[in-house]
Amino acid sequence: MRLLHTMLRVGDLEKSLAFYTDILGMNLLRKNDYPEGKFTLAFVGYGSEEDTAVLELTHNWETQDYTHGNAFGHIAIGVDDVYDACNKIKAAGGKVVREAGPMQHSTTILAFVEDPDGYKIELLMNNRSR
């Protein structure tokens, strides 16, 4: 068994695709419209679906926003330099909601950014230890 994908419901697919591809550097792997169901699925990631877990962005055409609830936490992405990644994300128009720095009670360097729908993405140093 292996993890295939995580699905996020998004209100504006084009804004979300721009965030994940232009700001976070993911690739659009595939995108399909389902007119009879009035939804679109777009898969983004850093590698192929055969080799890595990816994100499925689901856009229901008649829904602009969602209530997140309190069960979902965040998505984590490994980066070579959290400080540099935050600077690049801000320069590209992304929103950093927790600046890069050590995690409380730890030496792990992390930061949090937010996508257009308010989902949190944790940035962690690739060589982190937990």
Q: What is the pLDDT of residue 94?
A: 97
Instruction: Check if 62 is active-site.
Output: no
- Give the architecture-level CATH label for domain 5-60: Roll (3.10)
Domain(s) labelled CATH 3.10.180.10 in the chain stretch across: 5-60, 75-125
Cα 69 from Cα 91, distance rounded (Å): 30
Assess contact for 130 and 108: CB atoms under 8 A. yes
Q: What is the pLDDT of residue 126?
A: 85
pLDDT of residue 122: 97
The pLDDT tens digits for 14-46 are 999 999 999 999 999 999 999 999 999 999 999
Pick the CATH number of 75-125 from 3.40.50.720, 1.10.1040.10, 3.40.50.620, 3.10.180.10: 3.10.180.10
* pTM recorded for the entire structure: 0.91
Q: Residue count of the chain, please give it.
A: 130
pLDDT, averaged in runs of 10, over the chain (130 residues): 95 97 98 98 97 97 90 94 97 97 92 97 77
User: What are the phi and psi torsion angles at 122 (to 5°)?
Assistant: -90, 135
